[in-house]
Amino acid sequence: MSSTSATFRIWRGEKGKGEFRDYKTPVSEGMVVLDAVHQIQADQANDLAVRWNCKAGKCGSCSAEVNGMPKLMCMTRLSDLPLDQPVTVQPMHTFPSIRDLVTDVSWNFRVKQEIKPFKPRQPDAPDGTWRMQQEDIERVQEFRKCIECFLCQDVCHVLRDHHKHDEFIGPRFLVHVAALEMHPLDTEDRIPELKKAHGVGYCNITKCCTKVCPEGITITDNAIIPLKERVVDRYYDPIKRLLGIGRK
């Protein structure tokens, strides 16, 4: 991509009210969307609000919707976008807008507080430490890669379109529950909450969360569906319960 210019159609406004405005700015090899937004902020719109921090895809701050898809702006290369037409940049739809590209994601932190925390079994050794096998912890390690960018929450249609914020915790926190539930040391039982308060049954397996995860976590197949299966074990499989097949 040689040095040229591109138009960015950025949502400007406060608390849900606003409009898209076009900004034309020079772009060059290696630029990402966040670079272009910063350039626009420096040259043309000093009051443009954008949340960012690491510029390396690890802090999860610069989540937004680029050409309609939830993405980290710092990880979205301009060379991957069609620059012959305006690049649309807007805030995450699932959370209340604060200003311009910044949204209020505090709901997520309140949800996290409602999930039963890690409760390890009694220590394995007299010095108060535990012993774990690597193969037992591998599944959980995938979930620990989450950077809490909340792109999965943004794209999930249960929250995005149906606004079930008070009945469904969303993919990010189902991953969190999976990390706790599948942990070899954990002894807490979260299955009743999964079925009722956490609303795992609302997920209808669109796999959109997996598609947008910048860390490549296989959210649906490795976290949500195994949790659904654990709910089935408890509530919808009388034969398995009766025979005691497949105990943990």
Partner 1 sequence: MATVDVPLERVRFGRTARKDGWWVMPLTTLVVFTSFIVYVTWALLQGDNYYFGNYLSPLYSPELFGNSPHAVFGPWRWPWLPFIKYSPAMLILVFPLAFRMTCYYYRGAYYKAFWADPPACAVGEPRHNYRGEAKWPLLIQNLHRYALYFALIFIVLLSIDAVKGFIFNDPKTGHATFGMGVGSLVLLVNVVLIAGYTLGCHSFRHLVGGVMDQMSRAPTRKKVYDCASCLNRHHPKWAWCSLVFVGFTDVYVRLCATGVIHDLRIF
88 sits near partner 1 (criterion: CB under 8 A): yes
Q: How many residues bind partner 1, per CB under 8 A?
A: 73
Is residue 229 within the footprint of partner 1 (CB under 8 A)?
yes
Q: How many helices (H) and strands (E) does the chain have?
A: 10, 7
Give whichever of 5 and 206 is closer to partner 1, judged by the CB atom. Answer: 206
Q: In angstroms, rounded to a whole number, what is the distance separating the alpha carbons of residues 149 and 72?
A: 8
Q: At 22, phi and psi to the nearest 5? A: -90, 135
Question: Which among 125, 170, 137, 165 is positioned nearest to 151, based on CA atoms?
Answer: 170
17-to-38, 98, 100, 222 alpha-carbon distances in Å: 22, 10, 10, 38
**CA distance linking residue 52 with residue 38, whole number of Å:** 10
Is 110 a binder of partner 1 (CB under 8 A)? yes
Question: CA 84 to CA 31: how far, in whole Å?
Answer: 16
Q: Which is nearer to partner 1, 70 or 214 (CB)?
A: 70
Q: Is 95 in the site for partner 1 (CB under 8 A)?
A: yes
CA distance 137 to 19: 47
**According to the binding rule CB under 8 A, does residue 215 interact with partner 1?**
no
**C-alpha–C-alpha distance, residues 155 and 173, integer Å:** 14
Give me the least distance between CB of 220 and partner 1, in Å please: 8
Site for partner 1 in 139-158 (CB under 8 A): 155, 157-158
SS3 (DSSP) at 184: coil
Binder of partner 1 out of 30, 96, 120, 192 (CB under 8 A) = 96
* Residue among 74 and 155 whose Cβ is closer to partner 1: 155
Binding of residue 12 to partner 1 (CB under 8 A): no
Interface map 157-196 toward partner 1 (x if CB under 8 A): xx-xxxxxxxx-x-----------xxxx-x----------
Q: Rg of the chain's alpha carbons, rounded to an integer?
A: 21
DSSP state for residue 57 in the 8-state scheme: S
Q: How far is the CB of 6 from partner 1 (least distance, A)?
A: 14
Residue span binding partner 1 (CB under 8 A) among the ranges 23-31, 33-41, 44-52, 238-246: 238-246
Which of 61, 63, 76, 90 touches partner 1 (CB under 8 A)? 90
The interface with partner 1 within residues 33-62 (CB under 8 A) comprises none
Q: Which is nearer to partner 1, 51 or 230 (CB)?
A: 230
